[in-house]
Amino acid sequence: MSRMSWVYSEKVKDHFMNPRNILEDEESFEADGRGVTGNVKCGDEMLVLIKVDKERGIITDCRWRTYGCASAIASTSVLSEMVKGMPLDEAYKLGAKDVNRALGGLPEHKVHCSVLGDKALRAAINDYYARNGMHDKIRQEEQRVVCQCMGVTDLEIESAVLDGARTYYEVQERTKVGTVCGGCEDEVKQLIELYTNKHFAEDAA
């Protein structure tokens, strides 16, 4: 592969070609938490397993396995290194922007692939809490219907932005939001700006 054809950073290339912490045998890992996201029928599925120091509430090890593209592999590889030694509450807050920054950047049309790892990680953390009777700590990703006519949620709009949509009409094409009465247009535009800044805007210096 020539350098001209490789559109990713060298760090992405390194983590794709030499992924860290891949799960080889789930039964022998003895995980404290297990999380799965995605759907292999759609081309992307992610499994994340964690071990936790129960006294300190710190992740001591993280293993993963995916059916996904180079971005998904590299993103989860670097994520698995980031979370070792990290408190559960801090690890739960990690998102696509943090992973993207650690990799030195991903092409915008590939950022959506990087959310698989952190979503599966949050599921694994919630699973750990459930296994240990800490139900008050379990957090679910809430979703709210923005377009009542078509039943489109804020999470679907966020997913469209992660997939590259930047305008109201691009999001509308992907989700069918606002295609009946159009009464949600202003709110959708606000959400597009919110999610674009959340996932793509550079942090203030």
CA 41 to chain CA centroid, Å, is: 18
Q: Which two tokens stand for residue 108?
A: 């915008």
How many alpha carbons lie under 13 Å from residue 164 in its C-beta half-sphere? 8
The predicted pLDDT at position 67 comes to: 79
Do 9 and 105 belong to one domain?
Answer: yes
The predicted pLDDT at position 5 comes to: 47
Look at residue 126 and tell me whether its pLDDT is greater than 80: yes
Whole-structure pTM value:
0.72
Do 121 and 157 belong to one domain?
Answer: no
The predicted pLDDT at position 112 comes to: 66
Do 95 and 159 belong to one domain?
Answer: no
The predicted pLDDT at position 39 comes to: 60
The predicted pLDDT at position 89 comes to: 94
Question: Does an H or E element contain 178, and which?
Answer: none
The predicted pLDDT at position 32 comes to: 96
The predicted pLDDT at position 164 comes to: 85
Q: Is residue 79 assigned to a domain?
A: yes
Closest CA to 116 of 17, 59, 45: 45
According to DSSP, the β-strands at 145-147 and 58-67 are: unpaired
* Residue 191 · residue 185 · CB < 8 Å: no
d(CA 199, CA 97): 5
Number of neighbouring beta carbons within 10 Å of residue 30: 9
d(CA 69, CA 181): 38
pLDDT tens readout for residues 35-86: 998 765 555 678 999 999 999 999 999 999 987 778 888 889 999 999 999 9
**CATH number of residue 183's parent domain:** 1.10.10.1100
The predicted pLDDT at position 69 comes to: 79
d(CA 101, CA 11): 11
Do 125 and 107 belong to one domain?
Answer: yes
Please identify, among 137, 163, 187, the residue that sits at the C-terminal boundary of a domain: 137
Match 């930047």 to its residue by tokens: 166
Do 123 and 169 belong to one domain?
Answer: no
For residues 85-95, give the mean pLDDT. 93
Question: 62, 113, 147, 184: which is the annotated catalytic residue?
Answer: 113
Number of structural domains found in the chain: 2
Q: Is residue 204 assigned to a domain?
A: no
Known active-site residue 42:
yes
pLDDT tens readout for residues 172-183: 988 889 988 989
Q: Is residue 205 assigned to a domain?
A: no
Instruction: State the residue range of the domain holding 160.
Output: 145-199
**CATH number of residue 21's parent domain:** 3.90.1010.10
Closest CA to 57 of 36, 83, 81: 83
Do 175 and 191 belong to one domain?
Answer: yes
Mean predicted lDDT score pLDDT of the chain: 85
d(CA 134, CA 152): 32
Look at residue 205 and tell me whether its pLDDT is greater than 60: no
Do 151 and 133 belong to one domain?
Answer: no
Do 85 and 181 belong to one domain?
Answer: no
Known active-site residue 147:
no
Question: 42, 69, 149, 184: which is the annotated catalytic residue?
Answer: 42
d(CA 128, CA 85): 16
